[in-house]
Structure formats: C-alpha cells, structure tokens
C-alpha cells in the first residue's frame, strides 16, 4: 500500500503523519488537496504557531516538509534559554558518546594486543621446544 507522508518539523523534533492513499475521499482526489487536522508547535514560553492544514498532492507527490519559525511575542528569553539548554545537552550527549566510543576502541585494541602477545608467546614456546629437541634430543 502506498502512503502519502507529511512531515511536520519544529526545531527539536518532527512528526510524520502518514495517510494511506486508498483512504482519500473523492474531494481530496478531485481537488488534489489533502486537508488534515490542526496541529501546532508549542514553545516553552507558551507561544504557539499552527502548521498548515492543506497540502497539494500534485505539487508534493512524495510528501511535504514544513518548518516553523517562532513567532514574535513575549517569552523569547525563556525560549532562547531552553534552546541553549537543548544545544548544551546535545553537545554533552555527543561528547559522552565520543568518550564511550573511544573507550570501546581502546578496549578492542588492548584485547587485540593481548591476543598478539599470547600468539607470540606460543610461537616462542614452540621454537624453544624445537631448539631443545635439536640441541638435547628431547
């Protein structure tokens, strides 16, 4: 089954709304327009902005991506502070992931070195046995 996909984006997340093509009514098919239920982006400060509710199915046959900018109004400092906190949190998350990846790689390298050392010890032991056999006959 083919789907029409509409993605609604805000700065920190997106929502994918999927509408099966077979469920479009005759009005949608004839007009080439898909009308959806109202959806809004809500900022921490309480300010809101609505996403579009009408999309052209002929102009956007593979889906629509809509990004909203914060409207002017009270509470900008609160929203800016929240945006900074999100950026800091994302930065810290990336740093923690990088440290974890580095530790994992170091652990893998240490294990590989241990295996190489063990193999070298085994080869050395075998060479000593061969040397002893050649020298002493046992």
Contact present, 47 and 75 (Cβ < 8 Å): yes
pLDDT at 13: 56
pLDDT value at residue 116? 92
Q: Which of 22, 13, 15, 17 is nearest to 5 (CA)?
A: 17
pLDDT confidence tier of residue 32, bands split at 50, 70 and 90: confident
Quote the pTM value: 0.50
Contacts of 75 (CB under 8 A, 6+ apart): 43, 44, 45, 46, 47
Cα 78 from Cα 86, distance rounded (Å): 12
pLDDT at 4: 47
Q: Locate the domains of the chain by residue range.
A: 3-67, 75-138
| Pairing outcome for strands 64-67 and 3-9 | parallel
pLDDT digits (tens, 9 = 90+) for 44-88: 898 988 888 888 877 877 777 777 888 888 998 998 898 889 889
């Amino acid at each position: 089954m083919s789907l029409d996909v509409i993605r609604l984006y805000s700065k920190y997340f997106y929502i994918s709304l999927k509408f099966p093509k077979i469920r479009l009514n005759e009005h949608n098919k004839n007009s080439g327009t898909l009308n959806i239920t109202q959806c809004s982006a809500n900022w921490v400060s309480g300010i809101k902005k609505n996403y579009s509710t009408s999309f052209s199915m002929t102009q956007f046959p593979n889906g629509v991506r809509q990004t909203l900018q914060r409207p002017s109004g009270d509470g900008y400092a609160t929203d800016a502070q929240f945006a900074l906190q999100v950026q800091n949190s994302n930065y810290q998350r990336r740093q923690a992931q990088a440290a974890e990846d580095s530790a994992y790689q170091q652990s893998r390298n240490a294990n590989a070195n241990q295996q190489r050392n063990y193999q070298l010890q085994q080869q050395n032991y075998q060479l000593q046995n061969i040397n002893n056999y050649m020298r002493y006959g046992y």
